[in-house]
């Protein structure tokens, strides 16, 4: 089966702080067809994100497929508050990288 990387399909893939104790991730698409392809593939779910980030599902506070914006958003609890000793990413802006290489099955 042919696949495409998520980074080749999505318009925006980013992460950022969502308060001092959470990081939120946004995956946004230009077209409904691209969004539906990824959504229906099952490659991005609460369960697959927990596995990808090697965290228990309980650390994912929110997981939303937002149809009007062609976006998938999820939020995780941080291991420690932003800016506290041992925090390697104060702004949470470097946490999206594992999402880039997710393989999405395509119908081509």
67 CB burial (10 A radius; 0-12, 13-18, 19+): exposed
User: What pLDDT does residue 106 have?
Assistant: 84
Look up residue 90 and give its two tokens.
């104060």
Range of the domain at 60: 3-80
Number of domains in the chain: 1
Considering the entire predicted model, what is its pTM? 0.93
Beta strands in 30-70 (DSSP E): 60-66
Residue 102 domain flag: no
DSSP 1-22: --EEEHHHH-SEEEEEESSSSE
Using DSSP, state whether 75 is helix, strand or coil.
strand
User: What pLDDT does residue 1 have?
Assistant: 81
User: What pLDDT does residue 53 have?
Assistant: 97
Residue 41 domain flag: yes
76: domain CATH number? 3.30.70
pLDDT in tens, the chain (108 residues): 899 999 999 999 999 999 899 999 999 999 999 999 999 999 999 999 999 999 999 999 999 999 999 999 999 999 998 989 988 888 999 999 999 999 999 875
């Amino acid at each position: 089966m042919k696949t495409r990387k998520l980074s080749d399909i999505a318009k925006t893939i980013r992460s950022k702080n969502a308060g001092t104790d959470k990081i939120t991730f946004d995956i946004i698409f230009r077209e409904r067809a691209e969004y539906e392809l990824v959504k229906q593939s099952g490659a991005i779910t609460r369960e697959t994100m927990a596995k990808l980030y090697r965290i228990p599902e309980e650390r994912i506070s929110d997981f939303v497929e937002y149809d009007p914006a062609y976006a998938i958003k999820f939020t995780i609890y941080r291991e420690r508050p932003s800016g506290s000793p041992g925090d390697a990413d104060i702004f949470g802006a470097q946490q999206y990288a594992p999402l880039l290489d997710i393989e999405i099955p395509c119908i081509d």
